[in-house]
Amino acid sequence: MAMTDDRRPAHSRDVPFAMRDTLHVPRERYYDRAFFELEKEFLWPRVWQMACRLEEIPRTGDFVEYEICDQSVLLIRQHDGSVKAFHNACRHRATQLCNGSGRLPGGQIVCPFHGWRWNLDGTSSFVYGAEGFAPECLRPEDIRLQECRVDTFAGCAWVNLDPDARPLREFLSPVARLLDSVRAENLRVWWWKETILNANWKVAQEAFHEGYHVMATHPQLTFDMGEDYPFGNVEYAGFENGHGRFQGRFDPTAGGISQGRGGETFLERSRVLWEGQDAMTLERDLHVFRSVRNRLQPGEDFATAAVRALIDYAEGAGIPMRPTPEGLRLWGGQVFVFPNFMLLPQFGNALSYRARPYRDDPEWCRFEVWSLTTYPEAEEPGRASLKGRFAPDDTENWGLIPRQDFGNIERQQRGLRSRSYEQHRLATEMEQIISNMHIELDRYLAG
C-alpha cells in the first residue's frame, strides 16, 4: 500500500492543522492543546505500542507498569511464560494496584486500599468483607481485572487498549520483516536510561528519522568534512501503517560494507561511536575490529573484513547475531515503528528509543534510550531495569552524541513558538519518514 493512500472511513472528523501534502507540517501539531487532546482520545487508546522489553519481566509474577497519558497498564508474566496486560485499576474503587516494576509476592495482585486480591491471570481470589456487598456487585466476570490486548514480538511486549484492534503482526507490516532480519528477538539490554525533554514527543523522535542532521549536529562523526559530508549516502522509505526505515546506499553482497572507507577511518569512527554513546558500537566490537589490522589481505576492503571478523567472533562465542543480507544493509540505519518506537541496529547491537507525552503537557515528553546488544546464548543478562532519569545535559550519564541531539530537540520546540514560523519544509526523500508518520497520525485522529 502506498504511503499516501487514504484509508480514512467515509465519515471522518475534521483534524485541526491537518497534513495537506507530504512536504509541509503545520507547527501547531507540536504544541496545540486541542490537537494533543485528539491524540489522547484517538491515537494512544487505539494503536499498538511497545510497552516493555520482555527481559523486564523474565519470571512468573514479575510485573511492569506502562503509562501513556492518563492510562496505566500492568504487564504480568504468567505461569506458562506468556504475558497478560491489565488496566491498572481496582474493580472496587479504582485505586491503582501497582506502580513501577517489581515482583508480586505470593503470585497475587493486591489492592493497597482495601486488600482485594487477584490471581496473575486477573481472576478474583479474595474480597475482604465480601458478605457486606450485594451479590450483583461481586459477580466474578465484573470484578476480574480488565484485560488489554497484548502480544510479543522482537523481544518486546506490545499493548493496545482497543479490544477490537487488528493483530499486532498485521499492524507491524512491513517492518516486522526488517526487525526479523536484524535478529531483534535476540537483543538484550546493555543499559537503559531516560530523560525529560522540553519538547513535544513528535519533535523528539523526528530528530532520529533522518541522517541529514549529522553534518551540523555531530561534526565529530564527519571527520572535519564539514559541508562536504555526503547527505545522499542514505536511502529512506515511508511504509504503510506509518512505519519507515532508512539505510545506507550499498549492497553488502556485492563487494563491500562501505567502499572507499579506509581502515583507520573505520576504526576511528567506531571509537567515536563507542565513546560518544556506548551503543550500536561497543568496546567489544572495537577490539575485534582492531585485530583485523594485521590480517588484511592485499586489496581487501577493511570494513568488509572487520564485519566478517565480528561475525566469526560471534559464532565462536555463541552469540546469535548473524544478520541476513537485508539486515546487514540496515546496520547503521533505522527502523521506525509507528507511532513512537525506533530501533537503530549495528554490529549485533542496537540503539532504541521510545517517546511519550509527559504530564499532560504537549510541550514535554518522556524520552527513553536503550543500548541493546546480543549476549552469548548461555549468558542471559538477568532482569532489565531502568538505570535512572537524567537531565539532558548530564555529562556523567549521557555521552556527547545524545547530548547534542537533546540540545537541538529542545531548541526546535522553542523555535516553533516564533511568530515568524508557520510550518516545516521537508526534504522530498530525506525527511519522508516524518511526513509519513504525520499522515498516518491524521488517519487515527480522523477515523
pLDDT digits 0-9 by tens, 314-341:
999 999 998 899 999 999 999 999 999 9
Burial of 294 (0-12, 13-18, 19+ CB in 10 A): exposed
Residue 251's pLDDT band (boundaries 50, 70, 90)? low
pLDDT over 70 (residue 257) = no
- Mean pLDDT over residues 39-43, rounded? 98
pLDDT over 60 (residue 246) = yes
- Mean pLDDT over residues 423-435, rounded? 98
What are the residues whose beta carbons fall under 8 Å from the beta carbon of 163, sequence distance 6 or more? 149
Give pTM, 2 decimals.
0.94
What are the residues whose beta carbons fall under 8 Å from the beta carbon of 71, sequence distance 6 or more? 44, 45, 87, 161
Q: What is the pLDDT of residue 256?
A: 40
CA angle 217, 50, 318 (to 5 degrees): 85
Dist. CA 314–CA 246, nearest whole Å? 25
The grid coordinates listed for 297 are 589481505
- Mean pLDDT over residues 227-250, rounded? 92
* Collapsed DSSP state (helix, strand, coil) of residue 159: strand
- Mean pLDDT over residues 106-134, rounded? 98
Q: Note the pLDDT tens digit of each residue in 365-389.
A: 999 999 999 999 989 899 999 999 9
Share of residues in the chain with pLDDT > 90 (%): 87
Helix (H), strand (E) at residue 86: strand 83-87
Strand-pairing partners, residue 234, are 248
How many CB atoms neighbour CB 424 within 10 A? Answer: 19
Q: What is the pLDDT of residue 261?
A: 54
| DSSP-derived secondary structure for 361-378 | EEEEEEEEEEEEEE--TT
What spatial distance separates the first Cα and last Cα of the chain, rounded to whole Å? 18
Which residue in 292, 289, 403, 393 sits closest to 346, CA to CA?
289
Cell 484492534, residue? 165
What are the residues whose beta carbons fall under 8 Å from the beta carbon of 245, sequence distance 6 or more? 175, 178, 236, 237, 239, 330, 333, 334, 335, 336, 433
Q: Are 192 and 386 in contact (CB under 8 A)?
A: yes
Q: What is the pLDDT of residue 250?
A: 67
Q: Are 81 and 152 in contact (CB under 8 A)?
A: no
Mean pLDDT check: name the lowest of 99-113, 130-144, 259-273, 429-443. Answer: 259-273
Q: Note the pLDDT tens digit of each residue in 258-294.
A: 444 578 889 999 999 999 999 999 999 999 999 999 8
Helices (H) and strands (E) in the chain, counts: 12, 20
Strand-pairing partners, residue 159, are 49, 150
pLDDT over 90 (residue 182) = yes
pLDDT over 50 (residue 254) = no
Pairing, β 187-197 against β 388-389: parallel
- Mean pLDDT over residues 299-328, rounded? 93
Identity at 70, one-letter amino acid code: D
Alpha helices in 253-399 (DSSP H): 263-277, 283-291, 302-316, 325-330
What are the residues whose beta carbons fall under 8 Å from the beta carbon of 355, sequence distance 6 or more? 201, 202, 204, 205, 340, 365, 366, 367, 368
Dist. CA 106–CA 330, nearest whole Å? 44
Q: What is the pLDDT of residue 11?
A: 53
- Mean pLDDT over residues 344-360, rounded? 97
Mean pLDDT check: name the lowest of 145-159, 290-304, 355-369. Answer: 290-304
Dist. CA 109–CA 339, nearest whole Å? 31
pLDDT over 90 (residue 105) = yes
How far is the CA of 186 from the CAs of 122, 168, 341, 417, in angstroms? 30, 19, 17, 43
Peptide bond preceding 339: is omega within 30 degrees of 0, i.e. cis? yes
Residue 193's pLDDT band (boundaries 50, 70, 90)? very high
Alpha helices in 83-189 (DSSP H): 140-143, 168-171, 175-181
> In degrees rounded to 5, what are phi and psi of residue 257?
-70, -40
Q: What is the pLDDT of residue 258?
A: 45
Task: Supply the mean pLDDT for the chain.
Answer: 94
Q: What is the pLDDT of residue 247?
A: 95
